[in-house]
Structure 1
Amino acid sequence: VPEEWEKHSYISLGGLSEKAMKRMYTEYPHIHSIYLCMDNDEPGNERCRQFVSLIPEELSVYRLEPVKKDWNECLVAEVPVENMAKQMCWRDDREKPVPVMKMSEVEETVVQWLWYPFIPFGKVTLIQGNPGKGKTWLAMAIAAYCTNGKELPNALPIEPFNVLYQTAEDGIADTIKPRLAKCGADMTRVRFINEDEKQLSMTDDRIEKAIRQNNVRLMIMDPIQAYLGANVDMNRANEIRPLFRHLSTIAERTGCAIVLIGHLNKSSGSQSDYRSLGSIDIAAAVRSILFVEKVEKEKEQDIRVVYQQKDSLAKKENPVAFSLGEEGLTWLGEYDISIEDLLMGKA
């Protein structure tokens, strides 16, 4: 008898035909086990074999064989209920089917853009560059645009929305807020998760909760390595891959654009050897990568360029430039330069 059988619900069918059995497990899709209670004789055994061949493989099948010839004899002999049957497993050790979906069942969607073609909604984007080249300023300008809808090169008008800005490098009060103010951000729409009691990591469930509870459509995390979590080696693909898969899933489920800020790594040799810091899986996991670098040949004007190095979801557009001064960030429009010249300081 099944363990704790009295705590479960059962559908009992007598004089069962093949058609009735098929209808049963079609109408009751939550059934996971079937118990065959035929008589303990050759006709009963044969009937069990017939039914087993008809039952879907994802269901477990058990034979409850009466200790007497049939169940009536058990009742006449007053056999206790718990002793009436010998349980036999006919099919419980089969490999469970792998859940799969048909492509025909997938509803097509169109990628929505925060800033075409640089930052898509519902995906993860990486902004990277050398220290002091303007990555954080760029992130703040994007955040400000999201809160006021006023200015971003070639961006379509948007209705302002809330932003989460997490930083582990700069002070909130003395650096982040003053810079956001210079960018014209609506401070009521810029929020951050309080990390006083617990440091945030990419796998923290507070991320998705905060996004949903605050109707956030952009989240910025600066820098990447501060949010990987304790004991995570960013150079090891097997440790990085699950983190970014989790973060990408959050972005997709919520429709929020998640932007990560990262530093560049330089191997020995020329500046052309610059690469993303950490495992190559970081670059592989994100859908867009933006480089930020200063134009060295411009001595009279402080010009920084945003160059899209990876564009998985749209056609690559021309780089855009901005300058930094006493008043903060000023957009300069498109700027013609190659990534090689930009990173090697030739431009």
Structure 2
Amino acid sequence: MQTDYTAESHSRRLASGSIVAPPCGAGGVAIGITTTGSTLNHARAYAAAGLSVVPIKTDGSKSPRGSWKVAQARPATLAEVERAFTGECGVGIVHGAASGNSEVLDIDTADLLEPFVETLDYLAPGLVARLCVVRTPRPGFHLYYRCERVGGNQKLAMRPPAGDAAEAICLIETRGQGGQTLAPGCPPSCHPMRGTYEHHSGPPLTELPTITLAERDALLTAARSFDETPIEEPVVASTEAAGGSLEGLSPGDDYNQRNDWASVLEPHGWILLHRQGDRLFWRRPGKVGEGCSATTGNLSAAGNDLLCVFSTNAHPFAGPTAGRPCSSHTKFDAYARLHHDGDHAVAARELRRIGYGDRPAMRYADAGLADMNPSAPPLSAPRAVRRPSIVCMSDVEPREVNWLWPGRLAAGRLSLLVGMPGCGKSFLTCDLAARITTGTAWPDGPPCRQGSVLFIACEDDPADTIRPRLDAHHADPARVHLLKGVERTERGETTELAFSLADVDALEETLKRLSDCRLVVIDPIGSFLGGRTDAHRDNEVRAVLAPIARLAELYGVAVLIVAHRRKSAGTFADDMALGSRAFTGIARSVWHLSLDSESKGRRLLLPGKNNLGPEAGGLAFSIVGSPARLTWEHDPVAMTADEALARETGGGSGETSALDEASRWLKEILASGPRAGKELKALARGDGISERTLDRAKVDLRVENSPDGFGGPWLWRLPQQYGASLCQDFAESAKDQTLADSGETGPDSEPDGWEAA
């Protein structure tokens, strides 16, 4: 019975550490696992499969025995194979047109295989599982395939000579038109290391897959990403501003140092696909489907981080030209091409105008010196120097906290609102907007300063949801604004890109325009972190929120971050915000919104942490009427968010065990899909969960663990029984949200209390 060769089957083989015999080739010979059976039988099977074979010497030279020019032009007939493969010899395969456009990617060291496969899986998911993979004696790996177009032999990834070594080391290369490789069936004496070639995974050599040109490009791109050879920098015009030379840091060099590639490329529609160490893989704007167009993290001999563009359709970058596999660009060169049609002098002048580069030195120390010595040389421009900035606290004037909503929302600070879907978070933010835009007092009595409100929201439609809710709460729509995207204009054409919190400049420009802005609502935060940010990584979340916190302080505006709550139970409410604990860590106050478990339709707004003042009391409201709106209750709620959480879960005040916490944490993380085990352990450590406790939780939940395809990382995934329950949870949440949107969760008549506005 033949083995079914799929990605799943070869994953099982890798997981078990065994190699299952592949299907039989022509003549019933098992191809590629061992050298059992004669070399002649292997050669017959390869030839029958349309591969051009040659006999190989057994002196360790890996050279063909005799002339092989005919084999480079056409495959041998079976009769020719019988005559050629006599005596002691091995079997080699000649690639290119003679073997039906076969080609081999030769990975020369085994330790490169896993990172290569991980990279390739991002560029062409599932491709590795379809390739025939042979383990070589070095050890290394040969990846076999056919394609409608193959090239000659290419060295794709090199390592420069180190120490006394005279030559660079080839890490990855191709064997294409006119090249040959030794194949399974060779005796050990054919290789200088006296080892055998063995089938490792995928289909046998007699059933080579045919891949597309795009998939071949992905293979070569992944391979080139491991090249360690310093790349030649582009030749650009002078980076000095017009009007003379400048000693010191030029605008172009300063731009290279102060910017990352995301800030250069993403505003122009480039999409980050994958990160492999310091190397990043990018897709050009307008490209449809899978595929990588360029990489960054490629160091030049001068130490600059270069953009290498492989696509020929990535204007204004040239891509492969004059036999080179890619075009290379510094950040300054990319800026000049993207903003100034490649005019580096104009680009340098503009960068100097906005503050890049060392300031030009005065030609002379003063006019008197010039008069005394007109031939004196110009003074050198000062070099940029970094020094610590220290503030003595005795020089700091104390000041009171500037509150937008006294005791609850501080101006110039970040606050966090946490709640389950359907509990009324968006209704609450509309009520806040109504009070601010009309100057209506806060629900607990203090006056409210009138001003504008900025919404950064994507889950609700502006026309059929946000505006009707604002009208129901009697807001002034002329003072409510929605930041819905970032416009990019290039060569007279304007396109709108989705907004993310990485667009700090766009947010700052908006705040400058809205000089009376009092509140910025980000709802929900998870939709605006950007594709490169993992919401469960503390350092990545802080890196995104820290610039927003600085803007809030600079413009004196309160920023309210809306976050979803975890579905599972817990002990401390502030730990229930979905994602990293950095959300609650960087917020100066945290508020929790939940349904009152003892009163249908009643919502509780309860305090979590507050770093800026004494704990404020809780409040309660209902969503009533048609159109739906909030009504607040007069009396405060004498309950904290932790107490409400304990009442909701029936946990009282007892401590939840570490194992229960770890199990809930792991279930929530894996609810969105499989994650790498190493990554999970690092995230768990950041959230205070030991590796031993995490492993116990893994066993408790019966988490499945298997590699992600050939050579890929080991992934943890929830068993199927949890998938069904999580789908039910999401369905219930959606139902809650629908009821909240329609206002049907509250009573028909309005209770006593303050109305929205």
TM-score (norm 1): 0.70
Whole-angstrom CA distance in 2 between matches of 1:270 and 1:281: 18
Q: Which moved more, 1:252-261 or 1:236-245?
A: 236-245
Question: Where does residue 19 of structure 1 map in the other structure?
Answer: none
SS in 1 for 2:633: strand
Secondary structure in 2 matching 1:158: coil
* Equivalent residue number for residue 513 of structure 2: 213
Amino acid at match of 2:455: Y
- Which among 311, 318, 332 is matched to residue 617 of structure 2? 318
Q: Highest Rg: 1 or 2?
A: 2
For 2:617 and 2:570, the matched residues in 1 are separated by: 25
The SS at the match of 1:265 is coil
- Distance of 1:226 and 1:128 partners within structure 2: 15
Q: Aligned partners of 2:553 and 2:643: how far apart in 1?
A: 35
Q: CA deviation at 1:148?
A: 0.8
**1:263, 1:221 → 2: CA distance?**
12
Give, in whole Å, the separation in 2 of the partners of 1:295 and 1:190. Answer: 30
**What is the match of residue 339 of structure 1?**
641
What is the 5 A alignment of 1:240-319? 240-267=541-568, 275-299=576-600, 302-319=601-618
Distance 1:309 1:270, change over 3 A: closer
Q: Match of 2:558, as an amino acid?
A: A
1:236/1:220 CA distance change after superposition, 3 Å: same
* CA displacement, residues 68-121 of structure 1 (integer Å, 9 cap, x when unaligned): xxxxxxxxxxxx989xxxx9xxxx9xx964222333333333211111211000
- Pair 1:236 & 2:527 matched: no
Cα pair 1:115 1:155 within 8 Å, conserved: no
Q: Call closer, same or farther: CA 1:276–1:102 in 2, change over 3 Å.
A: same
How large is the RMSD of aligned CA atoms in angstroms? Answer: 2.8
Deviation of 1:286 (Å): 0.6
- 1:116-168 Cα deviation digits (max 9, x unpaired): 21100000111011110111111111111101122422242234211101211
Matched ranges for 1:65-104 at <5 A: 97-104=387-394
Q: Single out whichever of 107-116 and 277-286 deviates more from structure 2.
A: 107-116
**Structure 1: how far apart are the matches of 2:439 and 2:538?**
38
Residues 1:110 and 2:410 aligned together: no
Query: Could you tell me how far apart the structure 1 residues matched to 2:571 and 2:393 are?
Result: 45
Of 464, 474, 477, the residue aligned with 1:174 is 464
User: Structure 2: how far apart are the matches of 1:135 and 1:278?
Assistant: 18
| Closer, same or farther: CA 209–162 of 1 in aligned 2, 3 Å | same
- DSSP-derived class of the 1:127 partner: strand
- State whether residues 128 and 289 of structure 1, in contact with CA within 8 Å, keep that contact through their aligned partners in structure 2: yes
SS in 1 for 2:437: helix
Matches within 5 A, 1:121-132: 121-132=411-422
**1:190 counterpart residue number:** 480
Q: Give the partner amino acid of 1:214.
A: L
Q: Secondary structure at the match of 1:330?
A: strand
Within 5 Å, give how 1:144-155 maps onto structure 2.
144-155=434-445
d(CA) in 1 for partners of 2:484, 2:420? 28
What is the number of equivalent residue pairs in this alignment?
267
| Alignment check: 8 A CA contact 1:147 1:160 kept | yes
Question: d(CA) in 2 for partners of 1:180 and 1:341?
Answer: 32
Structure 1 segments unaligned to the other structure (5+ residues): 15-79
In structure 2, what is the Cα distance between the partners aligned to 1:152 and 1:252? Answer: 22
Deviations 1:21-46 (A, max 9, x none): xxxxxxxxxxxxxxxxxxxxxxxxxx
Deviation at 1:270, TM superposition (A): 6.0
Letter in 1 for 2:511: I
**In 1, Cα distance between the equivalents of 2:445 and 2:463?**
29
Q: Does 2:309 correspond to 1:8?
A: no
Q: What SS does structure 2 have at the residue aligned with 1:262?
A: strand
SS in 2 for 1:163: strand
Report the alpha carbon displacement of residue 217 of structure 1 after superposing the two structures with TM: 1.4
Matched residues in 2 for 1:263 and 1:106: separation? 38
Task: Report percent identity of matched pairs.
Answer: 30
Q: Distance in 2 between matches of 1:189 and 1:270?
A: 40
Letter in 2 for 1:246: P
- Structure 2 distance, partners of 1:171, 1:179, is 11
Alpha-carbon distance between aligned partners in 2 of 1:177 and 1:163, rounded to the nearest angstrom: 13
Q: Given the superposition, is the C-alpha separation of residues 235 and 113 from structure 1 closer, same or farther in structure 2, using an over 3 Å criterion?
A: same
Corresponding letter in the other structure for 2:476: D
Q: Following the alignment from structure 1 to structure 2, what is the Cα–Cα distance between the partners of residues 260 and 4? A: 46
For residues 225-270 of structure 1, give each alpha carbon's deviation from its aligned partner in whole angstroms, at most 9, with x where no partner exists. 1111122101111211111110100000000001110001244x56
Cα separation, 1, equivalents of 2:642 and 2:484: 40
Q: Distance in 1 between matches of 2:386 and 2:449?
A: 48
Query: Does structure 1 retain, via aligned residues, the 8 Å contact 2:427–2:630?
Result: yes
- Residues of 2 paired with 1:231 and 1:4: CA distance? 38
Aligned amino acid, residue 105 of structure 1: D
Classify 1:227/1:96 alpha carbon distance in 2 versus 1 (closer, same or farther; 3 Å): closer
Contact in 2 for aligned 1:319/1:336 (Cα 8 Å) = yes
Shift of 1:222: 0.3
Show structure 2 runs of 5+ residues with no match: 1-244, 248-359, 369-374, 487-495, 653-757
Deviation track 1:192-244 (CA, whole Å, cap 9, x = no partner) reads 12327121122311111111211211110100011111221011112111111
Q: Report which stretch shifted further, 104-113 or 321-330.
A: 104-113
On the 8 A contact 2:456/2:484 being kept in 1, the answer is no
2:501 aligns with one of 190, 202, 210: 202
Deviation at 1:272, TM superposition (A): 6.6
**Matched AA of 1:294:** L
198-207 vs 125-134, which deviates more? 198-207
Residue aligning to 1:42: none
Contact 1:304 1:321 in 2 (8 A): yes
Say if 2:436 and 2:450, in contact at 8 Å, map to a contact too: yes
CA contact (8 A) 1:211 1:217 kept: no
Q: In the alignment, residue 639 of structure 2 is paired with which amino acid?
A: I
Structure 1 counterpart SS, 2:560: strand
- The structural deviation recorded for 1:290 is 0.4
> What amino acid maps onto 2:417 in structure 1?
I
